[in-house]
Each structure stands twice: as C-alpha cells, then as structure tokens.
Structure 1
Amino acid sequence: MYDWFLGGKDNYPVDEEMGRQLVAMDGRVLTTARANRAFMQRATRWLTEQGVRQFLDIGTGIPTEPNLHQIAQGIAPDARVVYCDNDPIVLAHAEALLRSTPQGATEYIQADFREPEKILEGAARVLDLDRPVALSLVALLHFIADEDGAYDLVDRLMRALPPGSYLMLSHGTGEFTPETAQRAAELYEARGMTLALRTRAEVERFFDGYEMVAPGVAVIDHWKPELGERVPDTGEGPTPGYGAVARKR
C-alpha cells in the first residue's frame, strides 16, 4: 500500500483499494507518504555528514529510489547498511534492487520488529555493533501498539547500540484531524492491522534519555528542510506526522 501511495507499481488491487479509501478520508495521506521518504533522505544525509557510517533500517518496505543506502553511500562510499522487513515480497525486491558500492555493504534480513534479538544477530554479521549505528524507524512505529511493547522494543534495540549511536524515526499522528484518524484506525482494525497514531508528547517518549538533534520532534516536513528533499505545501494543513533524530550519549 505504501508503494501505491508513492506511485509505484509493486502493489496489488487490494492495496490500491484500501489506499483509495484512506485517501478519500484525507488527501494528505499521499503527501505524508512522500514527506516520510523526504524526511528519511534528509535525516540520512545529516547523519552521514556527522560521520555515521553504519545504518540499521527496520520496516524498509519495497525499495524506492533513492533509498537510504544510496543517500549514505553517495556521501560516504564505505557506509554499511542493513535493511530489515518481515515481508517476503520485500525480500524479493530487495535482493534485486539493493546494490552496494564496492567499498561499503548493503544487506537485507527478514525479521519482525517484535524480534529485536533476531534483528541484532543478523545485523551483527554486517555491522560492528561496538561502533555507532543509526537506527532508522521510518513510518513503522504507528503500526505497533503500546500493548505490543512499542516503547520497550525501541529501548531494547537502542540499549544494544553503543554511545554515539542515533535514533531516527517518523511517526503518524491524529492530532490535527482526530475524527479522520479514528476512522482510519477502524479501517485498519477491520483488516486485522494496527494503526496507533500518537501525539507529539507520545512520540517524544521514544527519545527519553537521548540528546535531541534540533529542532527536536517536529512535523516531518519542518525537520531541517534546508537539507534538501521536501514535499511542496498543498495548502491542506500540516502533514500529519512527526519526525526526529536523537543521539545516545
């Protein structure tokens, strides 16, 4: 469905059907998907410019160019990137499309976000977990309910990474249109999925104990827009999502 939002071709009629239902509820769904990708690109660029050379991206989705490794390796060819997703369809596309520079590394592991130890074990085959790693959770956590341990799962992953590592994430919110957000959550629930849209304060909780990078938790297209990619303002109001980056001391 996310691929359909981005105008891709790697999706199915059922994805398009639900995507159209969500767009009918709020046309900013399409803008938000694009804004998420733009945030990922800006944040990756910023992290690489700070000297980060290792990235662990969970909830990758079907690769869309330019992807994280292309941004990072375009600046630092020796960057090492591990992608992780629980969808076997994503694996098939990743194997065909995720090509690394000769100096760096790009690998894909199939695992669920709810299996942090399995993810870390797979990532350790490519990344040196004694050196700083940027953990990327873009447009993922709003599919993980509090009851499923969303905060604890992030904490378990970050505790395994050394000081100097970073947490970068984007997250959908229903603060700007609560009635529409509730209808969307009900649509997901009817299809056996979770949509846990959180407030700014709830998103900030993921960063407790870390050193926030300015401007902190911000509407995603307001996070360091001067770095490049940004979705044009549609005049429909704020993009319903937050983004932020923070450093582990």
Structure 2
Amino acid sequence: MATTPDWVPAGIDTDTPSVARLYDVYVGGEHNLDSDRETARSALDALPGLDIAIGANRAFLRRAVRYAAELGVSQFLDIGSGIPTPGNGNTHDVARGVIPGARVVYVDHDPVAVARSREILEGDPAAAAITGDFLAPKDILDHPEVRALIDLDQPVALMLVAVLHFIEDKDDPWEKVAQLRDALAPGSVLILSHAYVAKDSGVGTTSEELQRVYSDFGAQLQNRGPAETGRFFDGFRLVEPGLTGMADWRPDADTLADHPMQHTGVVGVGLKV
C-alpha cells in the first residue's frame, strides 16, 4: 500500500487527479500523486507535446509579469495560480526581479496548491496564498488577505493564466472576468492565456481526445479560439502583438519556439484605460 506524502493536506482524495497536480507533473514538479502521473501519461498520449505547450505557457507568464512590472505595476492578483514551480519562475520571483517590493496574492481552490504556496511564502509580509474560486469573484476581492495586500485604487496585474479553459460557457466566464475588471483601477493589466489547438495547427491532432481524458475526472477542458478568448479583453486595450500563440508573445532571444506546440494556445496582455 502506497504511503501518502506528508505534503498532502487532510481530506484529499488521492485516487482522483487534480488539474493543479497534473500541471505539476508536466513541469517536472514534486507535488503530484500516482493518480496524477497516470492521468498525465494518458493526456500526453492524447496530445503529444502537451508538456512542451505547458512550458511555453510558463515562459509566457514570466515575460508578461516582467512586462507589467516594467510598466510600474507593483501588485499582482494571480487567480488559478496552481502549485509553485521549481526554481525562481513564479509570479512573485519575476515581479520582484523588477520591483523588489512587489505584492502578490495567489488564489487557487486546490488545497495542495494553497498549502504549498503558503509554505513557500511563509514569513513574506508582501505575499499571500488564499483559497478562492474564479467563479466567485466578489469573494476573492473581499477576502481579508487580498484587501490587506492589494490596493484596488491603484493598478493591479490580474492574472488568469491557464485557468479559463476549465470554465464552461454555461458558467459565463466572460461575465466573471468583467466583474474582476470593473473592480480594477485604470492602468491595471490583464495577463491571460487559454488552451487552444486549431485543426490546422500542424501538431497532427486535435484536442478532442485530451478533453476526454480530463472529463473522466470531472474537469471540462474548453478549446476556445481567438474570437472567443478575445472577448475576455473587453474593456482592456490589447498591447502589441495582440492575441498570439504562447511563444509568439514578445519572445526573448532565448524563447524556445522550435516545436508546433509552443505556438498553440491564445495569449495576450491588456491595459485597462
């Protein structure tokens, strides 16, 4: 009988995968379970190169956070933040590389993600990790730790990276983003990425089989293209180069872009005016 790792919070169903722990598998993390690794193998069989796409998504996050900080934005609200990745590529690390005093609140509904984030941030007065659900924006905005660290009268970088593709149309994610947008001051930044594999993407497959893998454990993966994803930026002005694939948004000289999966997805950054 397998021993449950000591980092697993009480009450976790270790036999059921979670989206956050699957992501941790793809990026080579250590906070995942046998059920996650088995499902990740099925996901990679369904969509080869998925882990490469996840890496490109993380690289986009780092470039976009750096961009926001270089604009002078010193507050980051990272919703659907997941489990912190190994190394210094997390939101607070990147933001503080530009603005040492940047304040960050991580929000997730996965207990492992929240527990691990709190462990990393212990003793950090300018960062917090809270349990919250994108589907309840007001609860996030009114959370005491958000109120303590984030001044909504000043520009905020709202991060919705790799989260909206798990929200079904029936839950109207566009309206939820609008609620968050309306709470932000002018000059705020929306950093967003969404899964998308077009039939003519050149990866030799579609997302349908991957969607079945996720639906088997209750996660409904949406494959929205630029038109649907672009609606999330209503009320924001997209910065150049607009909506692109993951590796195509303001790539650095060392941005990896030699695999078709690095060019999938729809990503963008918008400014609230």
Q: TM-score range by the shorter chain?
A: over 0.9
CA RMSD of aligned residues (A): 1.8
Aligned equivalent of 1:218: 244
Secondary structure of the residue that 2:247 maps to in structure 1?
Answer: helix
1:30-179 correspondence runs (5 A): 30-64=51-85, 65=87, 66-98=89-121, 105-122=126-143, 123-175=146-198, 176=201
Contact 1:52 1:132 in 2 (8 A): yes
Match of 1:244 in 2: 268
CA deviation after TM superposition for structure 1 residue 178, in Å: 9.3
TM-score, normalising length from structure 2?
Answer: 0.85
Residue identity opposite 2:256 in structure 1: V
Q: Distance in 1 between matches of 2:64 and 2:193?
A: 10
Q: Distance in 2 between matches of 1:99 and 1:237?
A: 36
- 1:6 and 2:27 aligned: yes
* Aligned partner of residue 56 in structure 1, secondary structure: strand
| Cα distance in 2 for residues equivalent to 1:183 and 1:110 | 31
In 2, are the aligned partners of 1:132 and 1:161 still within 8 Å (CA)?
Answer: yes
Helix, strand or coil for the counterpart of 1:214? coil
CA apart distance, 1:231: 3.1
1:98 Cα shift? 2.5
Query: AA paired with 1:182?
Result: E
CA shift in 2, pair 1:237/1:167, >3 Å: closer
| Alignment gaps of 5+ in structure 1 | none
The count of aligned residue pairs is: 245
With over 3 angstroms needed to count, the CA separation of the structure-2 counterparts of 1:134 and 1:178, relative to structure 1, is farther
Separation in structure 2 between the aligned mates of residue 13 and residue 132 of structure 1, nearest angstrom: 41
Q: Following the alignment from structure 2 to structure 1, what is the Cα–Cα distance between the partners of residues 139 and 249?
A: 31
- Structure 1 residues 100, 178: closer, same or farther in 2, change over 3 A? farther
The one-letter code sitting in structure 2 at the alignment partner of 1:231 is: L
The CA deviation at 1:68 is 0.5
Please say if residues 47 and 209 of structure 2, whose CA atoms lie closer than 8 Å, have aligned partners that are also in contact: no
Partner secondary structure for residue 72 of structure 1: helix
The structural deviation recorded for 1:209 is 2.8
CA–CA distance in 2 between the matches of 1:93 and 1:237? 29
CA contact (8 A) 1:39 1:229 kept: no
| Partner residue of 1:230 out of 252, 255, 267 | 255
Change (3 A) 1:111 1:56: same
> Among the aligned pairs, what percent are the same residue?
41
Q: Which moved more, 1:238-247 or 1:106-115?
A: 238-247
- Which ranges in structure 2 are unaligned for 5 or more consecutive residues? 1-21
Paired letter, 1:241: G
Q: Is the 8 A contact 1:28 1:239 kept in 2?
A: no
| TM-score of the two chains, using structure 1 as the length reference | 0.93
Q: SS of 2:104's equivalent?
A: strand
**Cα offset for 1:229?**
6.0
